[in-house]
């Protein structure tokens, strides 16, 4: 094992975020009971905000960002993991408060880890990542609310992004009729290849709604928030459910109580950061069976650490489609 390894490190200089590829040693890593060889990570919207400094994501300096990682255990003082075990880590404020996945090695808390389920390798796990994991949690939330394929069409907003694209693929695989909302004019073929049967424009779905609109959707996965979520709620079928997991368009919600008290609509929040371990394990097992393997190839493309600053800028301005997988050994 080499004494040093490379990592992308964020520092703050004169109030600005600076990202640098550095050589580190194990002594530089934070405390934890498991040392990992990180094989792959991924680029999420939150990572883009951290690297560019556009959002108040980073809570300690210096920081290795990257809210996802997958790899193998090198050393462990935890009874739950032994050297050679393959693991995946998402959430728990890793890449924000704690050092994250953009490093060839990382030391973490064993309680943050989930065993990599049979049927997935590390690269596939990071093609899924926090975005795909969140999408699976959203689908499970709709199922918990009684939204079944026979109830009608399920809408996915932000469908060409990481969460949305995986949600479309999972829902289609499970037999749902899926409508997809995308701001990208060239995304139609991509979304139809994932299983969407109807494509709507962002402009249509971001128009300010009346308190109630015509009923269109049995369920919805929303990553946008603001007026888009308000319109989705106003268009829900009686008894429908919206799983809300993002605020790409804004954190406000200019709606009324009408969908809730006149149509029995439910709005359920989906959080992937502090999600309990047992539900995490279930979601990852479900991803093996419910996300089409061919969709991973459509959804993901691979980048190196050195490419991340440029890609981080692009993901914050809507310039990235699908998932970016980060190869730590590229």
Beta bridge partners of 19: 10
Parallel, antiparallel, or unpaired for β 105-108 and 86-90? unpaired
Parallel, antiparallel, or unpaired for β 154-156 and 217-222? parallel
- Same domain? For 134 and 96 the reply is no
Can you tell me the distance from the alpha carbon of 236 to that of 7, in angstroms, rounded to the nearest whole number? Answer: 46
What is the chain's mean pLDDT, rounded?
95
Q: How confident is residue 45, by pLDDT bands cut at 50, 70 and 90?
A: confident
Q: Is the pTM of this model over 0.85?
A: yes
* Residue range(s) defining the domain that contains residue 68: 4-116+295-327
How many domains does the chain fold into? 2
- Same domain? For 147 and 39 the reply is no
pLDDT higher than 80, residue 297: no
CATH number for the domain that contains residue 43: 3.90.180.10
CB 159 within 8 A of CB 299: no
pLDDT of res. 239: 98
- Same domain? For 65 and 191 the reply is no
pLDDT of res. 25: 97
**166 or 294: which leads in pLDDT:** 166
pLDDT higher than 90, residue 268: yes
Q: What is the pLDDT of residues 131-158, one digit of tens each?
A: 899 999 999 999 999 999 999 999 999 9
CATH number for the domain that contains residue 262: 3.40.50.720
Can you tell me the distance from the alpha carbon of 141 to that of 163, in angstroms, rounded to the nearest whole number? Answer: 14
Where is 43: in which H helix or E strand? strand 34-43
Q: What is the pLDDT of residues 206-222, one digit of tens each?
A: 999 999 999 999 999 99
- Same domain? For 146 and 199 the reply is yes
pLDDT higher than 70, residue 1: no
Q: Where a domain ends, among 219, 235, 269?
A: 269
**Closest among 37, 70, 17 to 308, alpha carbons compared:** 17
Tokens 């200089």 correspond to 13
Sorted by sequence, the CB contacts under 8 Å of residue 311 that are 6+ apart come out as 43, 48, 303, 320, 324
Arithmetic mean of pLDDT, 290-311: 87
């Amino acid at each position: 094992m080499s004494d040093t390894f490379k990592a992308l490190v964020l520092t703050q200089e004169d109030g600005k975020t600076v990202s640098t590829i550095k050589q580190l040693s194990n002594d530089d890593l934070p405390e934890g009971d498991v040392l990992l060889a990180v094989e792959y990570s991924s680029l999420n919207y939150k990572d883009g905000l951290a690297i560019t400094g556009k959002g108040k994501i980073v809570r300690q300096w210096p920081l290795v960002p990257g809210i996802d990682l997958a790899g193998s255990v090198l050393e462990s003082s935890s009874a739950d993991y032994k050297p050679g075990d393959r693991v995946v880590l998402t959430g728990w404020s890793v890449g924000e408060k704690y050092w994250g996945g953009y490093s060839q090695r990382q030391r973490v808390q064993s309680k943050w880890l989930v065993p990599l389920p049979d049927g997935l390798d590390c690269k596939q796990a990071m093609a899924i990542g926090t975005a795909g994991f969140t999408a699976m949690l959203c689908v499970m939330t709709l199922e918990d609310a009684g939204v079944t394929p026979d109830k009608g069409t399920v809408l996915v907003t932000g469908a060409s992004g990481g969460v949305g694209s995986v949600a479309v693929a999972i829902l289609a695989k499970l037999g749902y009729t899926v409508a997809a909302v995308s701001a990208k004019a060239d995304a139609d073929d991509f979304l139809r290849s994932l299983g969407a049967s109807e494509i709507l424009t962002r402009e249509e779905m971001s128009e300010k709604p009346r308190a109630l609109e015509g009923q269109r959707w049995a369920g919805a996965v929303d990553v946008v928030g603001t007026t888009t979520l308000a319109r989705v709620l106003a268009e829900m079928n009686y008894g429908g459910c919206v799983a809300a997991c993002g605020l790409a368009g804004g954190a406000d919600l200019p709606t009324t109580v009408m969908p809730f008290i006149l149509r029995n609509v439910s709005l359920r929040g989906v959080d992937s950061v502090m999600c309990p371990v047992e539900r995490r394990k279930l979601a990852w097992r479900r991803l093996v069976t419910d996300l089409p393997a061919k969709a991973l190839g459509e959804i993901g493309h691979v980048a190196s650490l050195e490419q991340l600053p440029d890609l981080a800028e692009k993901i914050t301005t809507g310039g990235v489609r699908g998932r970016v997988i980060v190869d730590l050994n590229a």
